[in-house]
A and B are shown apart, each in its own frame.
Chain A
Amino acid sequence: MDNKFPKKKIPKKILKNKEKWVFQLYIAGGSPIGMYTYNTLKSICNKHFKNYKIQIIDLLQHPNLAKKQEIIAIPTIIRISPKPNIKIIGDLSNPKQALLSLKLDSRMVDNWDRHGEKK
Chain B
Amino acid sequence: MAKRIKKTLPKERLPAKCRTGIPGIDEITFGGLPKNRATLISGIPGSGKTMFAMEFLIHGIIDFHEPGLFVSFEESETELIQNFVSLGYNLNKLIAKKQLIIHQIHIDKTEFQEAGNYNLDGLFIQLEDVLKKNKVNRVAFDTIELLFTHLKNKSHLRTEVQRLFRWFKRKKITIVVTAEQVNSTASFYGVEEFVADCVIILDTRVRSQVATRRLRIEKYRGSPHGTNEYPFLITNQGLFVFAITELKLDYSASESIIPSGIKQMDAMLGKNGFFKGSSILVTGPAGIGKTCIAAAFAQKTCERGEKCIFFAFEESPLQIIRNMSSVGIDLKYYITKGLLQLSCINPTSCGLELHLLNIQRAVNELKPSVVIIDPISNLKTTGLGEDVRSMLYRLIAFFKFKKVTSMMTSLVSLNPENLEPEESISSFMDVWIYTQYIQDLEKQSRYLLIRKARGMAHSKQVRELLIKDEGVELLDIYVYGNETITEQNKKMLKDILHKASINK
Contacts and interface: CB of A to CB of B under 8 A. Distances in A.
A94 B116 contact: yes
A28 B122 contact: yes
A33 B115 CA distance: 13
B123 interface: yes
B118 A75 contact: yes
A67 B111 CA distance: 15
Give the size category of A's interface with B: 20 to 34
B119 A88 contact: no
Interface in A85-116: 86-94, 97-98, 100-101, 103
B116 A91 contact: yes
A94 to B, nearest CB: 6
A100 B118 CA distance: 17
Interface residues of B, number: 25
Given A33-B117, A74-B120, A91-B118, A63 B106 contact: no
Nearest to A29: B121
Contacts of A63: 125-126, 128-129, 132
Contact of B117 (A28, A59, A86, A90): A90
Given A67-B126, A72-B123, A86 B113 contact: yes
B103 to A, nearest CB: 8
B107 interface: yes
Given A28-B122, A67-B129, A101 B117 contact: no
B425 interface: no
B116 A70 contact: no
Tell which of A64, A74, A101 has the most Cβ of chain B within 10 Å: A74
Interface secondary structure of A, over-half rule? mixed
B115 A94 contact: yes
A69 to B, nearest CB: 9
A63 B128 CA distance: 8
Nearest to B153: A90
B116 A59 contact: no
Interface in A49-99: 59-60, 63-64, 66-67, 70-76, 86-94, 97-98
Contacts of A26: 122
B112 A88 contact: yes
Contact of B112 (A59, A87, A97, A98): A87
Nearest to A101: B113
B262 interface: no
A89 to B, nearest CB: 5
A90 B112 CA distance: 10
B113 A73 contact: no
B120 A73 contact: yes
B163 to A, nearest CB: 13
Contact of A87 (B103, B113, B126): B113
Contact of A70 (B106, B124, B151): B106
A90 B116 contact: yes
Which of B105, B111, B118, B125 has the most A CB atoms < 10 Å from its CB? B125
Given A90-B117, A94-B115, A72 B122 contact: yes
Interface string B143-156: 00001000100000
Given A67-B129, A73-B122, 10 more contacts: A60-B125, A70-B106, A71-B126, A72-B123, A88-B113, A89-B112, A89-B115, A90-B115, A90-B117, A93-B115
17 contacts: A28-B124, A33-B119, A64-B129, A67-B103, A70-B105, A72-B123, A73-B121, A73-B151, A74-B120, A75-B118, A76-B112, A88-B114, A89-B112, A93-B116, A94-B115, A97-B113, A98-B115
Top 6 nearest A-B pairs by Cβ distance? A90-B116, A101-B113, A93-B116, A74-B121, A71-B122, A87-B112
